[in-house]
Amino acid sequence: MAMDAEGVLHSTQLETLYQVSVILSRTLDVKQAPQEVLRVLEESAGLTRGMISVIDPESGDLVVNAVQGIEPQAFEPVRYQSGEGVLGLILEEGKTVALPSIASNPRFLNRLGIYERRLPFIAAPIHVGGTLQGVLAVQPNKLEDGQLATRARFVEMVANLIGQSLKLSLDIAEEKQRISDERDTLRRTVKSQHGFDNIVGHSAPMRRIFE
């Protein structure tokens, strides 16, 4: 019976990974994609109350960026400093946290007030180009059933996909900026070489006209 349940879980996770990969490959919109990913995790994998936090490059704090089912303007900005609460622990150590229940860990702050204390909680780091840039957190919709470690590995896989997508988005943005800069430089060079003053100065017939 346990093997059947485990097989169903693996099958569900594979299908969910496919859906997540389709979402991330379909859009490079870093604002829209997180909400879609969190929705799929809830609807397909039973991982509810999904939350994605990103590191503020100025302060180094972890800032909540997206929450499943809640529009960004509907919640106050929530921040975690290194070592503060469970999410701050990930910011400090860069490792996945998997709790059999929120109530089992006194560090859990629940600042958003959306998590159920009796249910498990999983949070995995999001790395972009080898650097910690955020955290993906979810809460399984059922009591711990012996599959917490399996679910934690799955959440890590999703976090890795998100990180790879963000890296691709950044690379594309940098390439677009490089091309734009090169185009602007070329335009300035052409303008300087073929401007009116240069035409007058380098063309013999034109020099005679303006002498």
Amino acid 65: pLDDT: 87
Task: Give the pTM.
Answer: 0.78
CA Rg value for the chain: 25
DSSP state of 70: B
How far from 101 is each of 6, 93, 137, 140, CA to CA, in Å?
A: 20, 21, 14, 10
Amino acid 196: pLDDT: 45
Question: What are the helix (H) ranges across 77-147?
Answer: 85-93
Tens-binned pLDDT, residue by residue, of the chain (211 aa) = 445 788 889 999 999 999 999 998 886 556 678 889 999 999 999 999 999 999 998 899 999 988 998 876 777 778 999 889 999 999 889 999 999 999 888 889 888 889 999 999 999 999 988 899 999 999 999 999 999 999 999 999 999 999 988 776 655 555 666 676 667 677 777 666 655 455 444 444 434 433 4
Q: 98 near 122, Cβ under 8 Å? A: yes
Tell me how crowded residue 92 is: count the other CB atoms within 10 A of its CB: 14
Report how far residue 175's alpha carbon sits from residue 182's, in angstroms, rounded to the nearest whole number: 10
Q: 136 near 155, Cβ under 8 Å? A: yes
Tell me how crowded residue 179 is: count the other CB atoms within 10 A of its CB: 10
Query: Which pairs with CB-CB distance under 8 Å and at least 24 residues apart come from 169-174?
Result: 169/28, 169/30, 170/128, 170/129, 172/28
Query: Which pairs with CB-CB distance under 8 Å and at least 24 residues apart come from 57-60?
Result: none
Amino acid 39: pLDDT: 94
